Amino acid sequence: MSATGGKFENQVAIVTGASSGLGKACAIHMGSLGAKVVVNYHSGEEEAEEVVKEIKQRGGEGLAVQADVSKEPEILNLFTKTVDTFGRLDILVSNAGLQVDAPFLEMTLEQWQKVIDVNLTGQFLCSREASKIFIRQSRATAAEERSERAIGKIVMMSSVHDIIPWAGHINYAASKGGLLMLMKSIAQELAPYKIRINSVSPGAIKTPINKEVWSDESKYKELLELIPYQRIGTPEDVAKAVAWLASDDSDYVHGETLYIDGGMTLYPAFSDNG
Ligand code: NAI
Ligand code: BGC
């Protein structure tokens, strides 16, 4: 299959945390639609190279780059390497994230800080660096060649837990709740530059992050009670929505959150009660 002539032809995308789960699916999907994809990874080098291989097999281009999203020098290096290799940047899928679960009363400062550093500060650093590049590129483009459309697109990976409180995961829920306002405030500030930023907020999607739940029969049954649509999501369910938000098809969508959750945010416990 060839990726040439796709929706993202001549566009360069960075996907953070792309060696597994949702990031991997986004990188492969966008690569197969013609984007040149930088597959950022933290520790899974082999898995990241596999993702690059799959993008190439589908006719696309890819490059694996190691960086911890919570470390500023590593992020500066990630963005520099991207532009040095592919010449530009058009899309950031700011996906990397993790859970470090503990009851509130027992949560250590390290457990709190780790999740905030990766899930919130990492998104701040990546969005800031991407935006600087978008603006620099736009200023280097002759006025008559500038289009009315976005000069760059950012899609943040949030979660239904940006609005559903989550006992036992307060660091995670706080990071995603913070992301909601981070995204909207950046959207307000950067709209005049024509940089588009939106979030997707998935419900339960089958990835390594929640393997403990979907791999256990009784926990999986309990999980389905929270999903009116009666199935767990797939990484591809999310990747398709991310690609739409990163494309010109959604050019007038800005500062929004798209919930991809099989109805998890519909308060299913109220369906025959209350
Ligand atoms: P995952 O565990 O497969 O992927 C997370 C990725 O982030 C991994 O590749 C990991 O190496 C990377 N990562 C962790 N710390 C990093 C760091 N410091 N620097 C760079 N990369 C780092 O799990 P999944 O589900 O694919 O998670 C991706 C994102 O989706 C996360 O932000 C998560 O919060 C979010 N999400 C996942 C849902 C799900 O049900 N799977 C639902 C809602 C949101
Ligand atoms: C979490 C998953 C969980 C899902 C639905 C995500 O943000 O990372 O572990 O299954 O939300 O609760």
CATH number for 202: 3.40.50.720
What gap in Å lies between CA 55 and CA 38, rounded to an integer?
11
Q: Is 220 among the residues known to form the active site?
A: no
Radius of gyration of the chain (CA): 18
Residue 225 falls within a domain, yes or no?
Answer: no
Residue 220 falls within a domain, yes or no?
Answer: no
Range of the domain at 146: 12-206+234-262
Q: Best mutation site among 20, 175, 179, 236 for ligand 1, i.e. most ligand atoms within 8 A of its Cβ?
A: 20
Q: How many residues does the chain have?
A: 274
Nearest atom (ligand 1) to Cα of 119: 32
Q: Best mutation site among 46, 47, 74, 98 for ligand 1, i.e. most ligand atoms within 8 A of its Cβ?
A: 98
pTM for the model: 0.98
Residue 187 falls within a domain, yes or no?
Answer: yes
Residue 216 falls within a domain, yes or no?
Answer: no
Number of domains in the chain: 1
Q: How far is the CA of 209 from the centre of ligand 1 (A)?
A: 7
Residue 222 falls within a domain, yes or no?
Answer: no
What gap in Å lies between CA 170 and CA 134, rounded to an integer?
34
Tokens 């929706």 belong to which residue? 7
Q: What DSSP string runs through 128-188?
A: HHHHHHHHHHHHTS-GGG--SS-SEEEEEE--GGGTS--TT-HHHHHHHHHHHHHHHHHHH
Residue 2 falls within a domain, yes or no?
Answer: no
What gap in Å lies between CA 184 and CA 257, rounded to an integer?
9
| pLDDT tens, the chain, 274 aa long | 446 678 999 999 999 999 999 999 999 999 999 999 999 999 999 999 999 999 999 999 999 999 999 999 999 999 999 999 999 999 999 999 999 999 999 999 999 999 999 999 999 999 999 999 999 999 999 888 888 899 999 999 999 999 999 999 999 999 999 999 999 999 999 999 999 999 999 999 999 999 999 999 999 999 999 999 999 999 999 999 999 999 999 999 999 999 999 999 999 999 987 7
Residue 73 falls within a domain, yes or no?
Answer: yes
Residue 221 falls within a domain, yes or no?
Answer: no
User: Which listed ligand is nearest to 227 at the C-alpha?
Assistant: 2
